[in-house]
Amino acid sequence: MAGDRFLLIKPWSYRLWSDVEHVLAQLLIAEITNRVPVVFWPTHCLHNGFIHTNGFELYFEPVSDYSIFDLAKHEYTFYPPIWDADNLLVEDPGKETWMYRSIGDLISSDANVVVGDVYFSISEIIPFIKKENAAYGMTATEIYRYLFKKYIRIKKDILQEVQGFYQSWLKDGHPILAVHVRREEDDMIIDVRKDIADEHYWQRHSGKYGLKFPIKKDRKYRFLGRGKLLNANSQYHAEIKKLMNRYSIKKIFLLTDSEEVIREYTEKYGDMVVYTDCKRLSASEPAYFIENPVVKRRRGIEVIKDACLAAKCDFFIGNDFSSLSRAISRIKDWPEENIKLLFRRRERRKYPINVKMIVSDRKKIFKSFVEYIKNLYRRILKKLHLGGDEGDR
């Protein structure tokens, strides 16, 4: 890579595994453009508890021999054009407008320093991969795994914790099933009976309906037509049962941020359940309760530790909408039948499984009614000897 061509990778989401996913895609862009990658997560990132410290390097080794301070040179040119040597450490509050941030613009720029602070998926970058690149011809999943193996080197103290827990609690328990269950979004509900073509595809439960029709697990929701409420995370146990019956699972390594999930799984599976000792939340507590500014690195270590331990298991069931679950699916080359990321599907849309969902059988009932009328119409025509073959169309 050229010594005066850099790609500065800044955070996108400020959540650890989401930003690692963002970093991996940007590293692919660095390879395509022959740039030296430099990752910088500022002090206000979710898992960065120190002042004037690169948050990425609290958990991972640097991806190159350069730092952000090596890039802040007045003789360098920068892209997007909002950046210069004096403001490189700050964040751009307008990055979500995506101005000057198309993939084509970033890849074709001749600036010394290109800043990558918006998210692209690997699938979006694949068309730009050249034949001489090692990732050429790979699938998106294969590219993620290639990049993770090449660039993501976890700090030794974290790996020591991972190995210590594994030796003490998991080593003699194979075959082991890792299960990641996200906390239920208690104040969110998805109503798939609504026409949501032009709306955000999951919606918060209306306040007025919350007052008129308080959420109860056994209630039939009628205010938008007959329907029923599907509980959050209700798919997991059926999938766990399949694997337990087929592979004689001995241990379940449970990853969750929920106290309720811990209780549910220990009551159901007993001594089979193993989990790390970390801070978790009850359903009523907001997510920011989990963070203490003094111990934010500890929280980041716990998230990384869980992912690494899950990757040491034989099977994995996770949440398709979770960056942690996706990271686990990419840390190692899982056999396809050994891993499943769960979601709910209605029509052509995918929905997260850790929220409640109202569904309706109205369409099915309507389709059955239409078929009944068609059949009745055909029988009448046939009995009256009318319409010939047309009645069978």
What pLDDT was estimated at residue 181? 97
Looking at per-residue confidence, does 43 or 165 come out higher? 165
Percentage of the residues of the chain whose pLDDT score is greater than 70: 77
Burial of residue 46 (CB within 10 Å: 0-12, 13-18, 19+) is buried
- CA–CA separation, 241 vs 320, rounded Å? 19
Q: Categorize the per-residue pLDDT at 209 as very low, low, confident or very high, splitting at 50, 70 and 90.
A: very low
What pLDDT was estimated at residue 260? 93
Distances (CA, A) of 156 to 58, 72, 127, 160, 303: 11, 30, 36, 6, 15
Give the mean model confidence (pLDDT) for residues 184-201.
Answer: 56
Residue 270 token pair: 């007993």
> What are 132-160's pLDDT values in tens digits?
999 999 999 999 999 999 999 999 999 99
Cβ pair 104, 125 in contact under 8 A: no
What pLDDT was estimated at residue 210? 38
Q: What is the DSSP track for 114-143?
A: EEE-S---HHHHGGG--TTSTTTT--HHHH
Give the mean model confidence (pLDDT) for residues 84-101.
Answer: 89
Q: What are phi and psi of 369, to 5 degrees?
A: -65, -45
Give the mean model confidence (pLDDT) for residues 22-28.
Answer: 98
Residue 382 has pLDDT above 80, yes or no: no
Q: Which CATH architecture has domain 6-151?
A: 3-Layer(aba) Sandwich (3.40)
Residue 43 has pLDDT above 70, yes or no: no
Residue 251 has pLDDT above 90, yes or no: yes
What pLDDT was estimated at residue 361? 55
What pLDDT was estimated at residue 14? 78
What own/partner pairs with CB < 8 Å and gap ≥ 24 does 152-157 have?
152/20, 152/24, 152/60, 153/60, 153/61, 154/59, 154/60, 154/61, 154/304, 154/308, 155/58, 155/59, 155/60, 155/61
What are the residue ranges spanned by the domains of the chain?
Answer: 6-151, 173-184+233-351, 363-392
Cβ pair 36, 278 in contact under 8 A: no
Residue 365 token pair: 């009932």
Looking at per-residue confidence, does 65 or 293 come out higher? 65
Q: Categorize the per-residue pLDDT at 1 as very low, low, confident or very high, splitting at 50, 70 and 90.
A: low
What pLDDT was estimated at residue 355? 83
Class of domain 173-184+233-351 (CATH, top level): alpha beta
Give the mean model confidence (pLDDT) for residues 321-326.
Answer: 95
> What are 212-233's pLDDT values in tens digits?
344 444 444 444 456 677 788 9
What pLDDT was estimated at residue 202? 39
| Identical fold between 6-151 and 173-184+233-351 | yes
- CA–CA separation, 292 vs 333, rounded Å? 35
β-pair partners for 229: 358
